[in-house]
Amino acid sequence: MSTPYAKLPGWADYGLLPLINLIVAFFVAGLVVLLVGESPFEAVQLMLKGAFGSGRGIGYTLYYATNFIFTGLAVAVAFHAGLFNIGGEGQASVAGVGVAIVCLAFDSVLPWWITYPIAIVAAALFGAAWALIPAWLQAYRGSHIVITTIMFNFIAASLMVYLLVNVFKAPGQQAPETRVFLEGANIPSLEPLLGALGIAARRTPLNITFFVSLIAAFGVWVLIWRSRLGYEIRTMGHSPKAARYAGIGEKRIIIVTMLISAGLAGLMALNPIMGAQDRMQLGFVGGAGFVGIAVALMGRSHPVGIILAAILFGMLYQGGAEIAFEMPNITREMIVVIMGLVIFFAGALEHMFRPAVQAVFASLKPSSMGLRPKAAGDA
């Protein structure tokens, strides 16, 4: 019996299939490593050692993961409404402006524990505001959200250059960046916490924004699966026609969902600006907005899956740097290729192995697929 799109058990859908895709992606990446004359097994060892073999490696891995949790959640929320928010890069960039304004205004008069909540609000508001026009165009003019958010990424990039060169650059300074923030905008790092856990982590940018990202993940779970708005968002994503029939306002859902999505992407700006650089620099987003698409795909748009996928990509970033340092034949560009393979198998070929897995489950345990075992008299 052919059941190509029958429902799999949750653990298989959210765990087994991504794991199979990941194994295949690393297998193909291993072939690429072999082609340049290096050992894939040694490369994997170096990657794991670089990402988790020391307190410093763990700190950097979780620092990168923090960025990807925010952007992955942003993409996932839009996914649930049937929208593809590809503008996380621009939304996070503009959110950085909000964070910088708050820090520059209050870092000399307020302590960090007051400045930080204000910066969180500013990051979410500035990020959401940058998505308002694309959302409105999608809702009221039918413009495709992918096209508009891509174009807004380019506009945001140009805007950031203008602001950092002409508005925020400190007098007498050549680099396109703000001045260094004072103590009132310096948020605590997590080195003491890692030290209390027996992990010696010196000079890592991991900071309390990591916990904010986990709280955001929990908030998204509550929003999507435990709230009326989340039910409306999911209904719109599954069937816009059914949502309209049920009286759900399509335009309202599109705009609200995009604002929430962009607000989450904007929170990413807190991590590099206040946690690592203590200033706003050009290009501080570093592609995290685009990586968030892969994180959301691999995490099946579920907060738990997104956290795990974000840590995986954090490992690829940090461990990849270790490989590039230890194996000169493997450049940073090849690390990008490996990440691209993960994205390819986790996203574009997401359903390649699904029919085979479904066939195995249908033959071993039909009830797990919602199928009735064949009776003796069935044809």
130-170 pLDDT, tens digit per residue, is: 999 999 999 999 899 999 999 999 999 999 999 999 999 88
- pLDDT beyond 80 at 347: no
3-state SS assignment for residue 314: helix
Q: What's the number of CA atoms in the CB half-sphere (13 Å) around residue 378?
A: 4
303-320 pLDDT, tens digit per residue, is: 998 999 999 999 988 888
357-366 pLDDT, tens digit per residue, is: 888 887 777 6
Angle of helix 250-267 relative to helix 209-225, nearest 10 degrees? 160
276-303 pLDDT, tens digit per residue, is: 999 999 989 988 998 898 899 888 899 9
Q: What is the pLDDT of residue 323?
A: 83
What pTM was computed for the model? 0.89
- pLDDT beyond 70 at 73: yes
Let me know: does 83 contact 214? Beta carbons within 8 Å. no
Question: Which of 56-60, 146-150, 351-355 shows the highest mean pLDDT?
Answer: 146-150
The string of DSSP letters for 210-262 reads: HHHHHHHHHHHHHHHHSSHHHHHHHHHHH-HHHHHHTT--HHHHHHHHHHHHH
Q: Which one, of 279, 253, 210, 297, lies nearest residue 17 by Cα?
A: 297
